[in-house]
Structure 1
Amino acid sequence: MTDQAQHLRVQLLNALTASGSVRTEPWEAAAGTVPRHDFLRSGFFRRADGSAWEPVLQDDPGWLEACYRDESLVTQIAGTILPPDIRGQILREPTSSSTLPSLVLRMLEDLQVEPGMKVLEIGTGTGYSTAVLCTRLGEGLVTSVEYDEDIASRAGTALGQLGIHPTLIAGDGLLGHADGGPYDRIIATCSVKTVPSAWIEQTWPGGLILATIGGWLSASELARLTVHEDGTASGPLLGGQVSFMLARPQSPPQLGMLPDLGAGTERQAIIGADILDDWMPRFIAQFAAPNAQRLTLDQDGHTEHVLVDIASGSWAAVYEDRGHWIARQGGPAPLWDAIEEEVGRWHAAGKPAAEEMTVTITPQGQTLAW
């Protein structure tokens, strides 16, 4: 490692320790030995104009300094495109990234891991967090699953060049890795719409699952779930509006042709669609309407906030008219009724913060309580 890289790494770690992202000596020591730039040698993408991205390669000025900023760095676009593949700019969506170090290390601290524990990581990504885990626990206790075979291969190469050889699996992380279980801890570096039953089944009773629970309305929170003897899991949200890319198999389906939004039953809304602009109400709304996707449409001089569940055919269009919110709904389940009930319950409780909430996972589903 160059003197500059060493200096930047120490500088970053000092900042993360001062901010509280790193709270204990074992994780400080582990992070202090892992060079993040070795996992970003293929480059990354940075924001250009508007929603465009442009590549930053290893030979570009500022590449090394950026590797040691506390920022998430996009490493793949549109499922296949890497920084060396692009000259100029690209307008597609990111599909993989190197998570900001403060979040990586905060989550490792929140995992409450102890020496000798066996850990399953869902989402290898670049391999940086995998390397920190292995440095703390030993590579024999770490299994990491990555959905994208090419990403998994590059992570394996980067880890191998540092002499780190955990069990790396290319496959669907939502299925876990039963052959290596049961595990004491599972940690996910992708967001999940629902916590998979496989993770609960592959964790010892009393073990912990640390996962970001999100959804198709784009709000998520970090949960630490304890697995129970009866095959359920429950635990608190940890707060902080943690956000990861959703696990690819749980990505929302294409909307296709919309239902007839002019039909349905109309009433004055109790709660307006503007609540969906705020993180916590939007997070709660996902539990009430977990399969709904959101879009906005201009209709007859006003903006309609539309929720569509293409699986059930249910939909809601909510708009403001002369100072009042109006909800028009169709399909078998009134989506806005469900959202008003759940968000209204939260309002009635005094709008508790995420840290006051718990999530419970049972074979019947996923529930949020406070």
Structure 2
Amino acid sequence: MPADPTALRLALADDIAAGNPALDPAWPDAVAAVPRELFVDNALFRHAGSEWTPVHQTETSDDEWLGMVYTDRTWVTQIDGRDAADVEGPVTGSPTSSATLPSLVVRTAQVADLQPGHRVLEVGTGTGYSTAVLCHRLGAKNVVSIEYDTGLAATAAAHLHAAGYTPTLAAGDGLRGCREHADYDAIIATCSVRYIPPHWFWQLTDGGSITTTICGWMQAAGLIRLVLDDEGTAHGRFTADNITYMLARPHERPPSPLFFKLDGDTTSACLDPELLQRWEARFVAQLAAPSAELMETNSGIILRDVATGSQAWTEPKGTGWTVHQHGPLRLWNQVEDALIQWHGSGAPDLAEFGMTATAESQTVWIGSPQGPHWQLPV
């Protein structure tokens, strides 16, 4: 008997509810109602090694295709602006759009504390799937969604029309919000940002909220909901989730030149660089060196500052580690000092981190605003 999409949606919704008992039942209900197969078109990418291989619906059976669609995972649909449907063989590059795994869509919505009647701006329409989930829960008249990529925006509009949802859609830079339809009770982003864009603050109602993932060029992120107070300052705490979305395109790092190790000053490292394999440690390192990227090698790690060209790289020496630093910034010192502060606070997970933010100044802290803290690169 051929696969039944309705049964697959119900099974996926049940699995998501079972995996997160605290989830408002209205969100799994939305997953059960929205036909995800209408939002992935007829092709997607599988990842293997450094390559992305397109999988076309015409090359699979209906059962296999629907089985992929209703697996709770993210399916990349675009690499460096090239849609999977337009690619015939393996390619390399970075994902620029995807059908986000449904459990993350509803987890983010749950963190945002969205309720019927809330007027919401979604930044990053993507395929339109998350937009449809919001429409089912909140009513299409309360959902505004903006997409940076005009081609994706048009495709998402077609998907939503086919599924019977009629939110307000716009194409443009979502980091500037969507002023023509403001104000919003909540802004929710399906992309990560390096800092909260000023326009988001200006388009919220009094007491409105922003839910997003704060990420950077070391690829560690924290999910947070910030609530605006009467004085225009937003406050919130991160969740413990180790999750991320793709960085908003204007917040992506610029193309990197070929890397060559430069010796510079040589010292001994106080901390084992392998500590940076832990998500929270990388998040702290990213706060301490916000314009640096992190690379891992067989013999250690490399930090390279995109803005100044400064670099630091480690190599094992005896039972410890040697670090080489070159350029105007001492990247390893910045990172190591921050990690020592984090360790001194008990090496907490992300749930112990919080944020205080205005349009002009944004600080991430551990424990309380008086604890160890770092400025985001606003």
TM-score normalised by the chain length of structure 1: 0.91
Deviation per residue, 1:109-149 (Å, 9 max, x gap): 12111221110101111101101111221212111111111
Check the 8 A contact 1:22/1:106 in 2, yes or no.
no
Match of 1:64 in 2: 66
Check the 8 A contact 1:22/1:102 in 2, yes or no.
no
Check the 8 A contact 2:75/2:99 in 1, yes or no.
yes
Shift of 1:323: 2.0
Match of 2:49 in 1: 50
Check the 8 A contact 2:294/2:303 in 1, yes or no.
yes
**What aligned pairs does 1:126-137 form with structure 2 within 5 A after superposition?**
126-137=127-138
Shift of 1:246: 1.0
Match of 1:78 in 2: 80
Structure 1 residue aligned with 2:366, among 355, 366, 369? 369
Deviation per residue, 1:13-32 (Å, 9 max, x gap): 11111111772233233332
Change (3 A) 1:253 1:117: same
Check the 8 A contact 1:16/1:102 in 2, yes or no.
yes
Shift of 1:315: 2.7
Question: Counterparts of 1:9 and 1:323 in 2: how far apart (Å)?
Answer: 53
Check the 8 A contact 1:21/1:106 in 2, yes or no.
no
- Is 2:293 the partner of 1:314? no
Q: Secondary structure at the match of 1:7?
A: helix
Question: Counterparts of 1:98 and 1:262 in 2: how far apart (Å)?
Answer: 43
Change (3 A) 1:329 1:205: farther
More deviation in 10-19 or 282-291?
10-19
5+ residue gaps, structure 2, are: 368-378
Q: What one-letter code is carried by the residue in structure 2 that aligns with 1:178?
A: R
Question: Counterparts of 1:276 and 1:44 in 2: how far apart (Å)?
Answer: 32
Match of 1:95 in 2: 96
Question: Counterparts of 1:113 and 1:326 in 2: how far apart (Å)?
Answer: 49
Check the 8 A contact 2:185/2:208 in 1, yes or no.
yes
Question: Counterparts of 2:260 and 2:313 in 1: how far apart (Å)?
Answer: 11
**What aligned pairs does 1:123-272 form with structure 2 within 5 A after superposition?**
123-256=124-257, 261-263=262-264, 265-272=265-272
Question: Counterparts of 1:118 and 1:327 in 2: how far apart (Å)?
Answer: 51
Question: Counterparts of 1:77 and 1:259 in 2: how far apart (Å)?
Answer: 27
5+ residue gaps, structure 1, are: none
Shift of 1:297: 6.5
Check the 8 A contact 1:13/1:32 in 2, yes or no.
yes
Deviation per residue, 1:126-184 (Å, 9 max, x gap): 10110111122121211111111111110000111222221111111111112221211
Moved over 6 A (4+): none
Check the 8 A contact 1:146/1:169 in 2, yes or no.
yes
Shift of 1:260: 7.2
Shift of 1:55: 2.2
Change (3 A) 1:169 1:21: farther
Question: Counterparts of 2:259 and 2:300 in 1: how far apart (Å)?
Answer: 14
Q: Secondary structure at the match of 1:338?
A: helix
**What aligned pairs does 1:308-347 form with structure 2 within 5 A after superposition?**
308-347=304-343
Shift of 1:41: 2.3
Match of 2:370 in 1: none
Match of 1:34 in 2: 34
Check the 8 A contact 1:41/1:57 in 2, yes or no.
no
Q: What one-letter code is carried by the residue in structure 2 that aligns with 1:117?
A: H
Q: Percent identity?
A: 40
Shift of 1:103: 0.7
Deviation per residue, 1:221-266 (Å, 9 max, x gap): 2111112233322211112201211111111112326587222x33
Check the 8 A contact 2:238/2:354 in 1, yes or no.
yes
Question: Counterparts of 1:309 and 1:37 in 2: how far apart (Å)?
Answer: 42
Shift of 1:293: 1.4
Q: What one-letter code is carried by the residue in structure 2 that aligns with 1:192?
A: V
Question: Counterparts of 2:25 and 2:344 in 1: how far apart (Å)?
Answer: 42
Q: CA RMSD in A?
A: 2.1
Question: Counterparts of 1:205 and 1:340 in 2: how far apart (Å)?
Answer: 40
Change (3 A) 1:45 1:258: closer
Number of residue pairs matched?
362
Check the 8 A contact 1:21/1:103 in 2, yes or no.
no
Q: Secondary structure at the match of 1:46?
A: strand
Question: Counterparts of 1:297 and 1:50 in 2: how far apart (Å)?
Answer: 16
Q: Secondary structure at the match of 2:250?
A: helix
Check the 8 A contact 2:303/2:312 in 1, yes or no.
yes
Deviation per residue, 1:175-234 (Å, 9 max, x gap): 111222121111111111112121122222322111011111111121111122333222
